[in-house]
Structure 1
Amino acid sequence: MGTTQFIVVLAISIAFLILMILKWKIHPVMALFITATGMGIGFGYPILKTIGLINSGFGGTMTSVALTIILGTVLAMGIQDIEASDSISQSFNRLFRGKRMELAPALTAFVVSIPVFGDVTMILLAPIASKIAHLKKISMATMASFTGLALFLTHGLVPPTPGILAISLSMEADLGFVIFWGIIVSFIAFFVTWFLLRNWTEKERISPLAKFLGSSDEETEAQLTQKGKRSLPPFYFAILPIMLPVVFIASASFANVYMAEGTIMHGLLTVIGDKTVALFLGVLIAIALAFLYKQNVYKSAIENDHETTNETPFTQILWNKWVERGLVVAILPLLITGMSGALGSIIKENPAVHEVATSIAETNILPILIPYLIAAVLMTAVGSMTMAALTAAAIVTPMMPILGLSPELAVLAIGAGSLTLNHLNNSGFWIMSQFYNLSTKQGLKYVTIPTFVGSVVALLTLLLFGSLGVL
């Protein structure tokens, strides 16, 4: 197959994928399957080879990320039930001493969204952001802008969230290094964007939803400052199940670089730093904390599962209900991630992709812009960060030897590109708009624009680090 035919089939396939999802409302999983099948046939593969590539791509991707995604959602249920996010938010509230209070839910989202899906984080923090906005007279435009920005940044740039995790593994990037630099780039992108936009977001006054303001101002103040009777885990307990898995995974990379193989410490760090082991340890820590905060767990579990009562055995909530609720959240990201991997396997199999890579590399465009722009175009069109990142990775991977980028830099460039235009075709856009009381027009202003600015700042940060040779 020639380069021209490859590009034509690829462009038609992606356009058809967009039509199926946006115009004809076909479920993304089925749309991806149909697109992968049509693309394989368009590339000239026999039908059975096409189906075989889809099966192997789906199965390979699921093998890499399925347990991690499932454990991440179970961990999210634990974080919700022990009210860890409330505790973290209160700690940031005290840190900022009542000033710039939009940073409290935003930085909580920044932390929580590392192991927890962005959509779940949005819902977890909506009541906190709304109460702070009401009490401190802050517009929900500001709350939505920076809470959304923070969680999208770490969702797109820091494993073990599905998209960045899957492309890190598929592109053979060092997972610990991606986590380390992903956190740094996200942190810089967040605060630069916050500094640039903080006054702009306050120009339009948007009130929080009344359903999140059930208590009086005095009761709300007590909840936010922990002066009431609520028993919340202290910050150092609340953050343990969230950050320890990240630290464990990063420690394995440290051990592989700086420690001799065969030593006891090297063996220990590589075991606990395995992504599945690390997240399972996070779940176990959440379970241990749950026994210290049974009242919180029962209250949250009853609110989120109508079958749970005060008579439900506590261990059943931890080992059954958390898993059931987690699987409900996990199933869609699991299937989309797996089917995106199947589409990617069709693209990577075509030898013409190497010719395309060579042609692009011979242009004067900066190499880092290629993975960024491919992911940006796909995100704008498809509306799923995971789908955009995995499809971009499939296109970029064969180009790597020619582009001269490190796997870690290429992975983070794709992650930054997947943040670009978060708009009407993205589920996160609608969740943010619904829970943070934004109209569609306001959502485009206070969800889409801050995330776009954050994406550009992340790219510029990566350009800087790349030019310095640290990435």
Structure 2
Amino acid sequence: MPLLITALGVLLLLLLIMKFKINTLISLSIVSFALAIALGIPIPDIVVAIEDGLGGTLASVGLIFGFGAILGKLIADAGGAQRISTTLIAAFGEKRIQWAVVLTAFMLGIALFFEVGLVLLIPIVYQISKQVNISFLYLGLPMVTALSVTHAFLPPHPGPTVIAGEYGADIGMVLIYGFIISIPTVLIAGPLFTKYAQKFVPSAFKKQNNSSMAALGDAKPMPLEETPGFFKSSITALFPVLLMGFATIVNFLQEATNLPSNLLFEIIAFIGTPTATMFLSLLFALYTMGISQNRTMTQLMESAESSVKAIAMILLILGMSGALKEVLIVGGVGDYVATLFIGSALSPIILAWLIAALMRIAQGSATVAALTTAGLVIPLMEGADVNLALMVLATGAGSVIASHVNDTGFWIIKESFGLTMKETFATWTVLETLISVCGLMFVLLLSVFV
């Protein structure tokens, strides 16, 4: 019954947005309240669940998107994005520019959270698409593929790191095996899939780049000699990577050497949190892309204000999608899915992937799906001869499948690229499913040898 109610809720949401053309934020609000009632959440708790979901989502991504949007706009308005894109085009050539974007996104994605990498790269990718006259989505899909794959499979991202701890797997082996399966998965779900997606949903690739997120990278072309140098532009864009990468390395060394925590380690850990990283990077950009470029504070604040206005609706939509996810969790949809696999005799690797996949489809959150799966699968692993690192990767693969309306990531991609619901399903949802299935296939292949 909970799964049927959820399916009807998703259908209602699609009808409101696609058939009746109701604003996405209002549609999400209607469905969140309707599902809360249908799932039997006590009336006094309905508003609490919705507020908790909205607040929790905005708490985790609100400032990241806000600071990231300002950072991206500062880089674009100063000419930094133009300098970076011009240099990459000259280095790789127009015919291979998609590979340059994939490589850049994969390298950044190792250290950065998905949302952070997205807000940093979109202005640069937008500039590249304008200069070489290529579809924004043609470059954007491989970019988000690389970010999603690293987020799902590679420590120090929260999912694989926490699951490794739950399973007792060696984090180093998770990283090594994660790299082995990530590279072919990115190639298949990224550049290869994009070629086929162009044939199935050509309208998505012919759009004018008028989404609010793309607008962050829209700036008047400048004479190249007036733009910041490539090193200055790159170091500004990469500053979050440097901060988070440094904090991650220090954290690993501290754990490896069993050094006690002290004020220095606490400060470094603070710097490495996504919100603090983006804030410090924003302050750095105010100097490198502003003061040192002889831009006035008035000009800088105009860039900041315009960027925040551009993403205001996106933030509210993301918050309400978090409310929908919270309603499904409080309503017990995930708990119901968990009971379906009690006593199963499937292979632990396949079982971990399958439970995580169904949890993801039912309630939306990849992290919740992964952690719930770990709790269910651990008792079933007793006495089984299974590689724990591969179990981590199988769980991570299952947890990213079929992103749809109950997943915040679905709305991030839809709004970032200005897609319709149909186009988002045909590109992002299929892409995430490819990542999940390829991840499982490569894990099973690795299990034959290790």
Structures share a fold, TM > 0.5?
yes
When the two chains are superposed, the root-mean-square deviation of aligned CA atoms in Å is 5.2
In structure 2, the residue matched to 1:437 is: none
Other-structure match for 2:304:
323
2:281 is equivalent to residue 289 of structure 1: no
Whether the 8 Å contact between 2:236 and 2:284 is mirrored in structure 1 is no
Query: Any idea what SS the aligned residue of 1:403 has?
Result: helix
Aligned to 2:376: 402
Matched residue, 2:255? 257
CA contact (8 A) 1:348 1:398 kept: no
**Which of 62, 80, 89 is 1:66 aligned to?**
62
Aligned to 1:103: 99
Check whether the contact 2:244–2:273 (CA below 8 A) recurs between aligned residues: no
* 1:321–1:369 Cα change, 3 Å: farther
Match of 2:335 in 1: 354
Partners of 2:413 and 2:355 in 1: CA distance = 25
Match of 1:153 in 2: 145
Paired residue for 2:131?
131
**Which residues in structure 2 correspond to 1:308-457 (within 5 Å)?**
314-318=296-300, 320-351=301-332, 353-360=334-341, 362-363=343-344, 364=346, 365-372=350-357, 375=360, 389-390=364-365, 398-404=372-378, 410=395, 413-415=398-400, 417-418=402-403, 428=413, 453=434, 456-457=437-438
Stretches of structure 2 that go unaligned for 5 or more consecutive residues are: 166-170, 210-220, 379-387
Cα offset, 1:280, TM superposition: 0.9
Going from structure 1 to structure 2, the CA distance change for 1:151 and 1:374 (only over 3 Å counts) comes to: farther
Q: State the one-letter code of the partner of 1:278.
A: T
1:240 pairs, out of 238, 245, 251, with 238
Matched, 1:31 2:27: yes
Asked if the contact 1:74/1:327 (under 8 Å) is kept, the reply is yes
Deviation at 1:334, TM superposition (A): 2.3
Q: Secondary structure at the match of 2:319?
A: helix
Q: Relative to 1, partners in 2 of residues 1:370 and 1:448: Cα closer, same or farther, differing over 3 Å?
A: closer
Q: Which amino acid aligns with 1:327?
A: V
In structure 2, the CA distance between the partners of 1:45 and 1:97, relative to structure 1 (3 Å rule), is closer
Q: Structure 1 residues 159 and 29 mapped into 2: Cα distance closer, same or farther (>3 Å)?
A: farther
- Mark the CA change 1:42 to 1:227 in structure 2 (over 3 Å): closer, same or farther: closer
Would the aligned equivalents of 1:149 and 1:454 in 2 still touch at CA under 8 Å? no
Q: With structure 1 as the length reference, what TM-score do the two structures score?
A: 0.64
What are the superposed Cα offsets for residues 102-152 of structure 1, whole Å, 9 maximum, x if unpaired? 42345456667855575885564344235336xxxxxx47x853x123322
Instruction: Give, in whole Å, the separation in 1 of the partners of 2:150 and 2:310.
Output: 19
Residues 227 and 409 of structure 1: is their aligned pair in 2 closer, same or farther, counting only changes over 3 Å? farther
Deviations 1:381-416 (A, max 9, x none): xxxxxxx843x6556654441134988864564345
Q: What CA distance in whole angstroms lies between the structure 1 residues aligned with 2:137 and 2:252?
A: 36
The TM-score normalised by the length of structure 2 is 0.67
TM alignment of 1:123-272, pairs within 5 A: 124-132=124-132, 140=134, 144-145=137-138, 147-157=139-149, 184=179, 188-192=184-188, 196=192, 229-235=225-231, 236-248=234-246, 250-251=248-249, 253-254=251-252, 257-258=255-256, 259-263=258-262, 265-272=264-271
How has the CA–CA distance of structure 1 residues 352 and 173 changed in structure 2, closer, same or farther, with 3 Å as cutoff?
same
Identity of aligned residues (%): 21
Superposition map of 1:9-20 within 5 A: 9-20=5-16
SS at match of 2:228: coil
Alpha-carbon distance in structure 1 between the residues aligned to 2:377 and 2:265: 33
- Does the C-alpha gap of structure 1 residues 106 and 269 become closer, same or farther in structure 2, counting only changes over 3 Å? same
- Equivalent AA in structure 2 for residue 148 of structure 1: G
State the partner residue of 1:310.
none
Q: List alignment gaps of at least 5 residues for structure 1.
A: 134-139, 213-223, 299-313, 379-387, 435-439
In structure 1, C-alpha distance between the alignment counterparts of 2:229 and 2:51, rounded to whole Å: 45
Query: Do the aligned residues in 2 keep the contact of 1:249 with 1:275 (CA within 8 Å)?
Result: no
Alpha carbons of 1:408 and 1:196: their partners in 2 closer, same or farther (altered >3 Å)?
A: closer
What is the CA–CA distance in structure 2 between the aligned matches of 1:81 and 1:270, rounded to whole Å? 31
C-alpha displacement at 1:428, in angstroms?
5.0
Three-state SS of the structure 1 residue aligned to 2:85 is: helix
Q: What is the alpha-carbon distance in structure 1 between the residues aligned to residue 324 and residue 293 of structure 2?
A: 45
User: Structure 1 residues 458 and 89 mapped into 2: Cα distance closer, same or farther (>3 Å)?
Assistant: farther
Question: Retained in 2: the 8 A contact 1:110–1:150?
Answer: no
- Evaluate the alpha carbon distance shift between residue 257 and residue 371 of structure 1 in structure 2; reply closer, same or farther with a 3 A threshold: same
